Amino acid sequence: MIETNDPAIWRNFLPWPSAETHKHARGRLAVVSGKAHQTGAARLAAHAGLRMGAGVVRILCPPDAASVIAPAVRAVMLTPFSSPENLGREAAGSDAVVIGPAAGLDDATIANIQALGSTGAVLVIDADGLSVFKGRTAELFAVLDRDDILTPHEGEFERLFPGLLTQGREVAVQEAARLAQATIVLKGAQTLIASPDGRVRRNENGSPWLATAGTGDVLAGMIGGLAAQRMESFDAACAAVWLHSDAAHTFGPGLTSDDLPDCLPRVLSEMRSSALD
């Protein structure tokens, strides 16, 4: 049965800081950047993860990108990596890692994802991190744990699961979660979220203002931010999808992906008030 993605289901599982917490205890999120001319997507995701409450957010970047990113971040920290092995070491200790936005469609992206697979962090894989496995899905599935999360739009979904969408989005997303043994977020006007345990929810508060470049990168960062705070992956994905749309409704016309993270304090405050009621 497909449930509506109603906040009542996951509202009480949202992570709020306790009086005694510190930034590392709140959750460590890493976001992997693309090359020097492709760093905006990672910066959007990292900022969103920080706004969602991850206590420490770090961008891990190829060495050539460091001088581009450094002047463009403040609360987000920056660490260059020189190889997939080095990336794996730098990401160790992260609670969640986002990879894929503007990562590049080359073997380095595959090797980076494989290296991250052994860190134990929850992986949120988006965009190029999905498309690069076109025709090589067995290699992707070999990396995934059940708490990992894939966030394809329909184009990316078709590359990973060719032909599956002809059975309808609902059937397709459930079958994809079963095949991948991971949570699948099939994005669209009504995003569907499926867990490998068979749960599936339909998001019904979508906003067409989200049809603008970079909003998917923000969503990946939001999911990563909640997963870093140890919210269960499926609920983290459902909560982030709903809050992402709510932020878009809050801003309305003229929305760009840059605006979304800055709408989150208000959206989260409203959610916190209603959870306390």
Ligand X SMILES: NC(=O)C1=CN([C@@H]2O[C@H](COP(=O)(O)OP(=O)(O)OC[C@H]3O[C@@H](n4cnc5c(N)ncnc54)[C@H](OP(=O)(O)O)[C@@H]3O)[C@@H](O)[C@H]2O)[C@@H](O)CC1
Q: What x-and-dash track marks residues 133-172 binding ligand X by CB under 6 A?
A: --------------------xxxx----------------
- The residue within the footprint of ligand X, chosen from 49, 96, 115, 128 (CB under 6 A), is 128
CB of 145 to ligand ADP, least distance (A): 23
What is the per-residue burial (b if ≥16 Cβ within 10 Å, else e) of 105-122? eeebbbebbebbbebebb
Sequence-ordered strand ranges (E) for the chain: 2-4, 28-32, 56-61, 77-80, 96-99, 122-125, 149-150, 183-186, 192-194, 200-202
Among 214, 221, 224, 225, binds ligand X (CB under 6 A): 214
Q: Is residue 221 close enough to count as binding ligand X by CB under 6 A? A: no
Out of 131, 183, 205, 215, point to the residue binding ligand ADP (CB under 6 A).
215
Q: How far is the CB of 21 from ligand ADP (least distance, A)?
A: 30
Identify residues 151-180 at the interface with ligand ADP (CB under 6 A): 153
Q: Between 82 and 121, how does the x/- string for binding to ligand ADP read (CB under 6 A)? A: ----------------------------------------
Query: For residues 67 and 81, what is the distance between their CA atoms, to the nearest angstrom?
Result: 13
Torsion of the alpha carbons at 36, 39, 42 and 43, rounded to the nearest 10: 120
SS3 98: strand
Q: Tell me if 65 sits within 8 A of 241, measured CB to CB.
A: no
Is 134 flagged in the annotation as binding? Answer: no
Query: Angle at CA 12, nearest 5°, toward 236 and 23?
Result: 65
Locus of tokens 């909003």: 215
Residues 131 and 100: their CA atoms lie apart, in Å, by 9
| Contact between 131 and ligand X per CB under 6 A | yes
Q: Which is nearer to ligand ADP, 124 or 127 (CB)?
A: 127
Residue closer to ligand X, measured from CB, 55 or 261: 261
Nearest CA to 39 out of 5, 11, 8, 70 is that of 70
Q: What DSSP element (H or E) covers 224? A: helix 215-228
Q: Would you say 44 or 255 has its CB closer to ligand X?
A: 44
Residue closer to ligand ADP, measured from CB, 139 or 204: 204
- Can you give the binding site for ligand X, defined by CB under 6 A? 40-41, 44, 101-102, 127-128, 131, 153-156, 188, 213-214, 216-217
Annotated binding site for AMP: 187-191, 216
Annotated binding site for (6S)-NADPHX: 41, 153, 217
